[in-house]
Structure 1
Amino acid sequence: MPATRPPSMADVAARAGVSHQTVSRVLNGHAYVRPATRDRVMLAIEELGYRPNQAARTLVTARTATVGILTTGTTHFGPASTVLAIEAAARTEGYFVSVASLTGYDPETVRSLTDQLINQGVDGVLVVAAQQEVMRLIDDLAPGVPVVAVAARGDIPPDSRIRYVQVDQALGGTLATEHLLALGHTRIVHVAGPSGWYDADQRADAYVAAMTARGLEPRVIPAGGWSAREGYEVGRALAPEIASGTGPTALFAGNDYQTMGLLRAFWEHGVRVPDDVAVVGFDDIDGSGYLVPALTTVRQPFAALGEAAMHALLDHWSAPDGGEGGVVGVIPPELVVRESTAAPRA
């Protein structure tokens, strides 16, 4: 073989002793290839260092093996972790990703970025958006390729062609609240995430439902955002109440970053966690087990979420007429109990 060119499919066929068409079937995952033949082809590919020509495959299959990811707020832990999980799942399935991050939530920006992805020839679009206004704008688009959304959306239009995968945010809120109730707490406050986010709303609604079911008065404090700074400000306001014994004995925060701010504010005011107030977070961010005290939190299974999103897109391609929209995958979260929660003081 000349050393001046990379190995071709014909070279692989010659090395394996099969036809050019058989090599093509193996590369495209065709079911009707005998295992022994497939093994010979794969061995020849490995020995020769053959790499398929993606441009040529696109001409044959009418697919680019690229999926688009339209995302919002990639600096936030949840969306960023979801995007990384989807990229890993796509790579496992043999796909590349093209990521477009929204800088605004107006119709023009959403449509422009979606069009950019479509113009790149992506085979499908995965939308990572927890904001209600963004998903309602996505409803009005007709991109011409399958769309899968990662969003804990409850207001899906009945005629939607979009498929949804989601972490069960309501279950996560219930797990956090029920854990504190089981410890004996009755004065529990929920520090909520920003309004207009599906995740924040479902966690808050689950907290209210769990408290109401026990005949207890819910108290939701909007933090206005997801950051440690916003949690810190809430903690500063609550610390005097807690120190006086008239405030909550437990807090369920909208996410772990808010919890970091709460812990700082309580430390500054001499409020002990969990002796004076128990604290539960959400997400199980890297390092939450090394806070002082180690944080009890709700873990979101991002790897499983990314795999579910990619599989939903693969199923979309194989279904007649693209299949129906709606929720096709719900991933349960997990409560991780650590040192920041304990029974209330007698």
Structure 2
Amino acid sequence: MPKRVTIAEVAKEAGVSIATVSRVLNQRSGKIKISQETDLAVRLAASRLGYQADPFAVALRSRRSGLFGAIIRDIRDPFLVKLYTHMQKHARSNGIELLLGHADYNLAVAGRQANIMGSLWFDALILLGDIPGDRSMIQHLKIYHKPCVAVACGQMEGIPSINIDEKAGTYLALDHLYSLGHRRIACVGDPNAIGIQERLVHFKEYASAHQLTVEEGYFQVCANQRLEAASCAERLMRLPNPPTAIFCGSDVMALGVLNQLHRIGAKSVSVIGFDDIDESAQVFPALTTIRQPVQVFAEKAILLALEMMDEPEGKTSAPQILIQPELVVRESCFPVA
């Protein structure tokens, strides 16, 4: 391994003191101002010698490493992956590297990852997607006194969270179907994911308030997977009075439903999703859906974590931020025949 260049060697190359090199490279001010010529000489010398700052030494001095940790519920979930990608972009624009841990729905794995990130060089922790039982784990993280932000995990007492307005999103979707004349609207969703669980609750509220025809079998429950959602679509179409439209708790399920409907020739049934993952615009027919604006989520999550790092010690803020959804009209919904 090549020997690490020291600031003493940079000082010798530039013809200045070690203290001057330290001030220039660490961007520290002092009583005596450093001239532009000296500043440039130090930086050129550091560049010629290939000097690189020791990140651990910098972290010890500044008490910051420039590292955020993120724990994602499921790396196969296209919405969460899209969210993480945008979050990483915003982190880097603020000089932060966002490193990822994959929990794969396993609370014990998430707990180990959270303990590592909480106790070592990480400045903040971001949780992407809820895991059943994760409330106790998140409360445990408070012992590390580090910023922790929960994104798309549902609202949490005492922990800052950023979520979509689930009621607004569900009502946007159902209002769109209602405006097209649909009254027999079925629902496909996964009650184990807290966001989708809330959408199912608001679906029932809307159906009751608008006197929709919700016959036995219209409420289909399955995992957030295409094949399971496809099976739900087939069961719905076998009912004596099948629905004219299907509201899906996620785009993943909606794509499975849409594919199965076309496979069995039920192309007149409208389908609407939730999330607006990239594939939704690429399939045929393109999926009408509710957009969760991931750029807004990402920016708010990173800025919130940075703001919490600057808070006075002992102050604990826990804002509960709701992001407004958007209706994206494409080709998968149409008026009742």
TM-score by length of 1: 0.80
The answer on whether the counterparts of 2:164 and 2:325 sit within 8 Å (CA) in structure 1 is: yes
**Counterpart of 1:100 in structure 2: which amino acid?**
G
CA distance in 2, matches of 1:298, 1:322: 39
1:140 shift after superposition: 3.4
CA distance in 1, matches of 2:251, 2:118: 36
Aligned pairs (5 A) from 1:172-191? 172-191=169-188
Q: Which position in structure 2 is the counterpart of 1:212? A: 208
CA distance in 1, matches of 2:104, 2:186: 33
1:51 shift after superposition: 5.3
Counterpart of 2:166 (choices 162, 166, 169) is 169
Counterpart of 1:235 (choices 229, 233, 239) is 233
**Counterpart of 2:283 in structure 1: which amino acid?**
L
The answer on whether the counterparts of 1:110 and 1:138 sit within 8 Å (CA) in structure 2 is: no
CA distance in 2, matches of 1:148, 1:232: 34
In structure 2, the CA distance between the partners of 1:261 and 1:5, relative to structure 1 (3 Å rule), is closer
In structure 2, the CA distance between the partners of 1:50 and 1:104, relative to structure 1 (3 Å rule), is same
In structure 2, the CA distance between the partners of 1:191 and 1:56, relative to structure 1 (3 Å rule), is same
CA distance in 2, matches of 1:95, 1:313: 11
CA distance in 1, matches of 2:279, 2:128: 24
Q: Which position in structure 2 is the counterpart of 1:139? A: 139
1:132 shift after superposition: 4.1
Offset from partner CA, 1:95-141 (integer Å, 9 cap, x none): 122322224544x4443222222343211111113234223432234
Counterpart of 1:200 (choices 196, 203, 220) is 196
The share of aligned pairs that are identical, in percent, is 25
**Counterpart of 2:89 in structure 1: which amino acid?**
A
The answer on whether the counterparts of 2:288 and 2:333 sit within 8 Å (CA) in structure 1 is: yes
The answer on whether the counterparts of 1:152 and 1:169 sit within 8 Å (CA) in structure 2 is: no
CA distance in 1, matches of 2:276, 2:270: 16
Unmatched 5+ stretches in structure 1: none
Matched, 1:111 2:111: yes
Matched, 1:123 2:123: yes
Aligned pairs (5 A) from 1:75-90? 75-90=76-91
CA distance in 2, matches of 1:76, 1:87: 17
**Counterpart of 1:237 in structure 2: which amino acid?**
R
Q: Which position in structure 2 is the counterpart of 1:318? A: 310
**Counterpart of 1:199 in structure 2: which amino acid?**
G
**Counterpart of 2:249 in structure 1: which amino acid?**
G
The answer on whether the counterparts of 2:271 and 2:288 sit within 8 Å (CA) in structure 1 is: yes
CA distance in 1, matches of 2:212, 2:180: 15
Mean CA deviation greater in 134-143 or 290-299: 134-143
Counterpart of 1:290 (choices 263, 282, 286) is 282
1:294 shift after superposition: 1.4
The answer on whether the counterparts of 2:4 and 2:51 sit within 8 Å (CA) in structure 1 is: no
**RMSD of equivalent CA atoms:** 3.5
**Counterpart of 1:71 in structure 2: which amino acid?**
I
CA distance in 1, matches of 2:150, 2:310: 18
Offset from partner CA, 1:157-179 (integer Å, 9 cap, x none): 3xx2x211122233221211111
The answer on whether the counterparts of 2:191 and 2:221 sit within 8 Å (CA) in structure 1 is: no
Q: Which position in structure 1 is the counterpart of 2:293? A: 301
Partner-residue secondary structure (3-state), 2:319 = strand
CA distance in 2, matches of 1:90, 1:318: 16
**For this pair of structures, how many residues does the alignment match?**
324
